[in-house]
Amino acid sequence: MTTLGHLIDGARVAGEGRTQDIFNPSTGEVSGQVSLAGKATVEQAIAAAQAAFPAWRNTPPAKRARVMFRFKQLLEEHADEICRLIGQEHGKIVHDAKGELSRGIENVEYACGVPELLKGEFSKNVGPGIDSWSEFQPLGVVAGITPFNFPAMVPLWMYPMAIACGNTFVLKPSERDPTSALFIAELALEAGLPAGVLNVVNGDKEAVDTLLDDPRVQAVSFVGSTPIAEYIYARASANGKRCQALGGAKNHAIVMPDADMDNVVDSLTGAAFGSSGERCMALSVAVAVGDAAADALVAKMRERLTSLKVGPFSDAGNDFGPVITQAHQQKVCGYIDSAEAQGAEIVVDGRGVQVPGFESGFYVGGTLIDRVTAEMTCYREEIFGPVLLVVRAGSMEEAMKLIDDHEYGNGTCLYTRDGEAARYFSDNIQVGMVGINVPLPVPVSYHSFGGWKRSLFGDLAAYGPDAVRFYTKRKTVTQRWPSAGVREGAQFSFPS
């Protein structure tokens, strides 16, 4: 059984010291081990990135973009292998891993346009004979700390653009499913990144804290849970670093009485149970407006759930796979228990699901809970499992108030046919990413990803146009030439 090391200054580096098991959640077995980098190893990665910075910064943006073009090709060529690595350590079914990877590649595509995106603003004659322009210069060494649930995509939200902007990068992927991130990073080097421009260290809190405290690290991008996001943001900020830290979510869909209910059920099913609900944009609460809509929704969802298949990642016929760990499996089931205890109605119960041949896998079946209220534990906290809650509201305003009162503000959706309702909702709801009949309103790669309230700490959102601003700093040059110099000096009698 192999022990995964690090990627520093263009080469694989074996770990020293502490290690941690990596599991295959589909079987419940240990599939390998990962080194947990100590301070010295992380500092070695930072030093490599620091050393690579001056030359990389001076490489024309179009050349940096060309590495991204090649990187995209390599990602596409190795898609099957990457998806297998994702599935093995994360548990998501191959079609879901493909979707994840595609979304990641789209961010590489966007980074290919960096010469356009880096354009500054040029003003002639800000005063008589004085010009002024802005440049967006890279920061230096940038760190990314990424979660287990999108082991391939979230790193690709970060370093392609950071690097295309001229920065160098240290990535610390999740220690639960680190293999795909490392594999992908090696493809980026193969695509032409000079050694040291992209480094990967595996690790836990010790690695994270080293990144947060080292003065050579200029900025930190983080995606994870809200408590950790808050910690990361506070510590990085206190150390004078630029930071964006994305946290948890509790995404609601409002189902209006005029909604196309078949579309609601189809799209909600994917949005709630896909990837076992382990997505920060998973749709975990459906708020039906009026009992008629609620009853219809619950009836149709109940029926739909009968055909939903949970099982190992390797079987493409499954709809979703296990959750990430045994501990998390128990935590999700605990939320269902609490809902039952607090008076909600368990319409479809995923606890105790058995997958023949994979009895030790970390499975939870698709679960539907009706008559949930705002006070229940299952409503207040993020479950991060294949559990859809139904809340019943008496009006659209009441449904919107539920959303606005919740701690999180990542994504939300309104199901309706009505133009006015859509406009009112998207204008007023206190959530950063809004769908109209789109339950997973993840912005495409040329827009930016960012929740509101306690779902994001920082001024600028992830990927897209905001990422260009996050990974660069503005420099403004004001220029005046004081006297005519050579021009007036160069007066000659006409050549005869």
202 vs 96: CA distance, rounded Å:
24
127 vs 482: CA distance, rounded Å:
13
Q: Are 287 and 255 in contact (CB under 8 A)?
A: yes
Closer Cβ to a second copy, 271 or 333, answer by number:
271
440-446 long-range Cβ contacts below 8 angstroms, 24+ apart: 440/270, 440/271, 440/279, 440/281, 440/282, 440/283, 440/411, 440/413, 441/281, 441/411, 441/412, 441/413, 442/103, 442/281, 442/411, 444/106, 445/103, 445/106, 445/107, 445/109, 445/110, 446/110
**Residues found in the chain:** 496
Query: How would you classify the pairing of strands 345-348 and 367-370?
Result: antiparallel
Q: Are 357 and 29 in contact (CB under 8 A)?
A: no
- Smallest gap from residue 237 Cβ to a second copy (A): 4
413 counts as catalytic:
no
Closer Cβ to a second copy, 13 or 460, answer by number:
460
Q: Are 468 and 165 in contact (CB under 8 A)?
A: yes
Closer Cβ to a second copy, 130 or 341, answer by number:
130
98 vs 105: CA distance, rounded Å:
10
Closer Cβ to a second copy, 192 or 257, answer by number:
257
295 vs 107: CA distance, rounded Å:
40
Closer Cβ to a second copy, 17 or 60, answer by number:
60
- Smallest gap from residue 334 Cβ to a second copy (A): 27
The residues with which 24 forms a beta bridge, in sequence order, are 29
Closer Cβ to a second copy, 312 or 451, answer by number:
451
Q: Closest by alpha carbon to 383, among 445, 436, 333?
A: 333
Q: Closest by alpha carbon to 473, among 164, 111, 167, 136?
A: 136
- What tokens does 383 get? 């479950």
- Smallest gap from residue 361 Cβ to a second copy (A): 33
Q: Are 366 and 350 in contact (CB under 8 A)?
A: yes
Closer Cβ to a second copy, 275 or 416, answer by number:
416
Cβ contacts of residue 119 below 8 Å, gap of 6+? none
- Smallest gap from residue 435 Cβ to a second copy (A): 5
Closer Cβ to a second copy, 307 or 491, answer by number:
491
- Smallest gap from residue 344 Cβ to a second copy (A): 13
Residue with tokens 């799209």: 267
396 vs 348: CA distance, rounded Å:
26
- Smallest gap from residue 155 Cβ to a second copy (A): 21
- Smallest gap from residue 233 Cβ to a second copy (A): 7
Query: How would you classify the pairing of strands 283-289 and 387-393?
Result: parallel
Closer Cβ to a second copy, 340 or 418, answer by number:
418
CA-based torsion, 372, 376, 379, 384: positive or negative: negative
Task: Please tell me which residue in 243, 280, 333, 378 is annotated as part of the active site.
Answer: 280
Strands annotated E in 157-267: 168-172, 198-200, 217-223, 242-246, 251-255
Q: Are 221 and 55 in contact (CB under 8 A)?
A: no
Q: Which residues are catalytic?
A: 280
